[in-house]
Amino acid sequence: MKMKKILTVITISVALVFSSCNWDDFGDLNVNPNQATTPTTRALLTNSMISLGGLILSTQGALYAQHLSNKQYTSGDNYQVINFSTDGFFNGPLMDLQKIIEMNTETPNAVAIDGLNVNQIAVAKIVMCYYYLHMTDRWGDLPYSEALRGVEGLLLPKFDSQEAIYDGCIQALKDAVAAIDTSVPNSNLRGDIILGGNMSRWVKFANTMRLNAALRMSKVNPTKAATEFASAFSAGVIALDNSENIIYNYQNVQAYENPYYNSFVTAGRADWVIADPLMNMMQLDTYTSPHLSYYSASHPYKTESGKLDVVADPRLPVYANPIENTTSTYIGMPYGLSEANAGEISAAETSFLGNAFRQRISPAFIYTSAHVAFVLAEGRLNGWINSAPLTAQQYYEAGIQASLNQHDVGAGYADYITNSEVAYDAGRAQEQIITQKWIAIFPNGYEAWAEWRRTGFPSLAPGDNALTPNGQIPRRQAYGTAEANANSDNHKAALTNQGFAADDLTGRVWWDKP
């Protein structure tokens, strides 16, 4: 378990990313022992980054966040899958990144052709932290301090607490930024498919990640959260004008194409539709689903009263396609239906994911100006950055403007911001900030799900067919069965340490407090 594996060609990871409907769950990485045993660090770096897009566009994440619903196979909407493997992370990108660090430490001259040693190590640490923070937000405690040691190390690593992982990653991000040499040309770092070797942008990537991580700790360690938030902000995060968005770019070849394109076109599976909760929010209470018969009486999206002053979200025609034979009629899909009930709604009666998100080269957005603006709005609201140039309201409005501009509908801002549901209200500022963030980071479901768990916004309800023991939206994902079987003692200890009676979808991770 967590054993070192030899790098093979990049297409292995790509095939794993695209091999299932839930393309972020890439499972164990199998390798060919007959391949070359001395990989280049540029190939390792590229290979480690290939899975990032799939995490952002994860279908399971989008279902948890109720950005999307399934049109046909609704098991994901109802939380049928309990166990999700972490092995693919440890045996794939994390091991690649660890190998980069080792090669630049042990044989620096041999790998210097792919970039300054300090920069290679720093970027490997930054990407590693992105994976670890993503993973711990999904599962909770994980192997960290004893992971990635390979056959000469520990095969059965202990699980570190989520708090320890957060502390470790925050320190690693600060160390990486301190070590980066920005004086060299961009081309000096080879294999970087995210930022093209631009080390100044890697500094901002790391600071932005630390800013986001600090906010996640707001309930469990507000003092450290405030300190790290202010420090990351002062160190410099991405700009709010969309010029420095962190993007994973897909390519115009099948092996590297956008997974939604792969699903809709290459595989011929038209299944991802806009969920009613998002549709309702974007149509701002003027929307009443025509599929009311599929809702329970308690569902919050069953009946919504219309308002005369409402302006629909300008992003709606980007996020969703109109229903068949119309140009401007948008209908969401009831969330969490049984497959039998879902089958009673024809494809012509619901809005599928917008074309802009499912072209072959449609990118995945890792961090955007809108996302960061909403994070800063909450930080300002908390009093963490009182010397910041903008108020909480101004950051909130900047986030909306940046999101609309990102999707080329910025001209609609002036009308949209006047809507009574959108116009800043200090009495419910956090709710508005998180709700607008939930809309803006679509379809980055795992991030939206994490923020919903942290704050409770927006108000979401499980479908009537939820299969969780308590019938509620999941709060975490259970560890993979291979993990439980191969490292059973440490697995049991991790459950006990987190206060989980069972390894299921109901336990709350460290920062997820009522």
Cα(164)–Cα(337) distance, rounded to whole angstroms?
39
User: Same structural domain for residues 187 and 109?
Assistant: yes
Portion of the chain with pLDDT greater than 70, in percent: 89
Q: What is the pLDDT of residue 312?
A: 87
Say which residue, 341 or 35, is predicted with more confidence.
341
Q: How far is CA 337 from CA 94, 159, 293, 308, in A?
A: 37, 36, 11, 31
Domain contains 378: no
Q: What is the pLDDT of residue 10?
A: 34
Q: What is the pLDDT of residue 185?
A: 77
112, exposed or middle or buried, with CB in 10 Å at 0-12, 13-18, 19+? middle
Q: What is the pLDDT of residue 31?
A: 40
Q: What is the pLDDT of residue 285?
A: 63
Q: What is the pLDDT of residue 40?
A: 97
**1 has a pLDDT exceeding 90:** no
Cα(95)–Cα(150) distance, rounded to whole angstroms?
9
Q: Is the peptide bond before 458 cis (omega within 30 degrees of 0)?
A: yes
Residue 17's CB is within 10 A of a number of other CB atoms, namely 25
Cα angle: 18, vertex 23, 24; to 5 degrees: 130
User: Same structural domain for residues 42 and 177?
Assistant: yes
Q: What value does the mean pLDDT take over residues 376-401?
A: 98
User: Same structural domain for residues 16 and 158?
Assistant: yes
Reported confidence tier of residue 184, pLDDT bands at 50, 70, 90: confident
Structure confidence by residue, pLDDT tens digits, 297-329: 555 554 444 444 456 899 999 999 999 999 999
**CA 346 remoteness from chain centre:** 30
Structure confidence by residue, pLDDT tens digits, 234-263: 999 999 999 999 999 999 999 999 999 999
CA dihedral of residues 64, 65, 70, 76 (deg, nearest 10): 0
Q: What is the pLDDT of residue 38?
A: 76
Residue 374's CB is within 10 A of a number of other CB atoms, namely 30
User: Same structural domain for residues 266 and 321?
Assistant: yes
Q: What is the pLDDT of residue 37?
A: 60
Structure confidence by residue, pLDDT tens digits, 467-495: 999 999 999 999 999 889 999 999 999 99
**13 has a pLDDT exceeding 80:** no
Domain contains 433: no
Domain hosting residue 50, numbered range:
11-63+84-220+474-498
Q: What is the pLDDT of residue 24?
A: 62
Which residue matches tokens 């806009």?
A: 274
Reported confidence tier of residue 284, pLDDT bands at 50, 70, 90: confident
In DSSP notation, 415-446 reads HHTTSTTTS--GGGHHHHHHHHHHHHTTT-HH
Domain contains 444: no
User: Same structural domain for residues 55 and 123?
Assistant: yes
What type of residue sits at position 38? T
Structure confidence by residue, pLDDT tens digits, 54-96: 999 999 999 999 999 999 999 999 999 999 999 999 999 999 9
Domain contains 438: no
Q: Which residues pair with 274 in a beta bridge?
A: 68
Q: What is the pLDDT of residue 493?
A: 98
Q: What is the pLDDT of residue 217?
A: 98
Cα(198)–Cα(220) distance, rounded to whole angstroms?
35
Q: What is the pLDDT of residue 293?
A: 78
Reported confidence tier of residue 172, pLDDT bands at 50, 70, 90: very high
Tokens describing residue 378: 């909450």
Structural domains in the chain (count): 2
User: Same structural domain for residues 120 and 37?
Assistant: yes
Cα(273)–Cα(337) distance, rounded to whole angstroms?
13
| Helix (H) / strand (E) containing 83 | strand 83-84
Q: What is the pLDDT of residue 153?
A: 54
What type of residue sits at position 471? G
Reported confidence tier of residue 337, pLDDT bands at 50, 70, 90: very high
Cα separation of the two ends of the chain: 35
Cα(377)–Cα(395) distance, rounded to whole angstroms?
5
Q: What value does the mean pLDDT take over residues 150-179?
A: 91
Residue 179's CB is within 10 A of a number of other CB atoms, namely 14
Domain contains 233: no
Tokens describing residue 8: 């093979």
Domain contains 144: yes
Residue 414's CB is within 10 A of a number of other CB atoms, namely 10
Residue 471's CB is within 10 A of a number of other CB atoms, namely 13
Looking up residue 488, the CATH number of its domain turns out to be 1.25.40.390
Reported confidence tier of residue 27, pLDDT bands at 50, 70, 90: very low
Q: What is the pLDDT of residue 221?
A: 98
Domain contains 232: no
Q: Strand 478-479 relative to strand 83-84: parallel, antiparallel, unpaired?
A: parallel
Domain contains 147: yes
User: Same structural domain for residues 53 and 142?
Assistant: yes
479: alpha, beta or left, given left = phi > 0 and alpha = psi -120 to 50?
A: beta
**22 has a pLDDT exceeding 80:** no
**29 has a pLDDT exceeding 90:** no
User: Same structural domain for residues 152 and 262?
Assistant: no
User: Same structural domain for residues 159 and 29?
Assistant: yes
